[in-house]
Amino acid sequence: MYYIVETNKAFGQAADDLDAAVKRNGFGVLHIHDLGNTLRSKGMPFTEECRIFEVCNPVQAAKVLSTDMRLNMALPCRISVFTENGATRIGVIKPAAMLASLSDEPALAQIAQQVEEKIIQMVEEAK
């Protein structure tokens, strides 16, 4: 269900490279949540880094929503750049597996597979 890769890049460089890869692959970055800084700003002793990129391809999102509007709760896709025990990682919950657990509509499975292939490509490019 997860696709996670480790990179030799520093956290900030991996995040910058993911941002560029998302845009190169026809997706947009809707928002970046800096979860690490948010937790620290709330007084939590969180030592890891974590940025969550909300990404979307409007054509694919419109197809999903026109098939099953309930799936708005599963959008946009999220790709995380995070540190764990000194290693920088980039990961995603695979869209095909996630949507398969929410719908058995064959058209959605095909869309989710196409999106998943692009997202894995973005992760690999950023790695």
Between CA 119 and CA 95 the distance in angstroms is 9
Helical pair 11-24 and 106-126, crossing angle rounded to 10 deg: 130
What value does the mean pLDDT of the chain take? Answer: 96
In this structure, which amino acid lies at residue 103? Answer: S
Q: Which of 92, 87, 77 is nearest to 123 (CA)?
A: 92
Please give the pLDDT value at position 99: 87
Please give the pLDDT value at position 105: 87
Each residue of 25-61: pLDDT tens digit? 999 999 999 999 999 999 999 999 999 999 999 999 9
Task: Give 90's strand partners.
Answer: 5, 81
CATH number for the 2-126 domain, one of 3.30.70.640, 3.40.50.300, 3.40.630.30, 3.30.310.70? Answer: 3.30.310.70
Contact indicator for 18, 126 with CB cutoff of 8 Å: yes
Contact indicator for 54, 79 with CB cutoff of 8 Å: no
Each residue of 72-84: pLDDT tens digit? 999 999 999 999 9
pLDDT at position 104 over 90: no
In the numeric block, the tokens 């708005």 are attached to 72
- Which pLDDT band, with edges at 50, 70 and 90, does 5 fall under? very high
Please give the pLDDT value at position 15: 98
Task: Give 83's strand partners.
Answer: 88
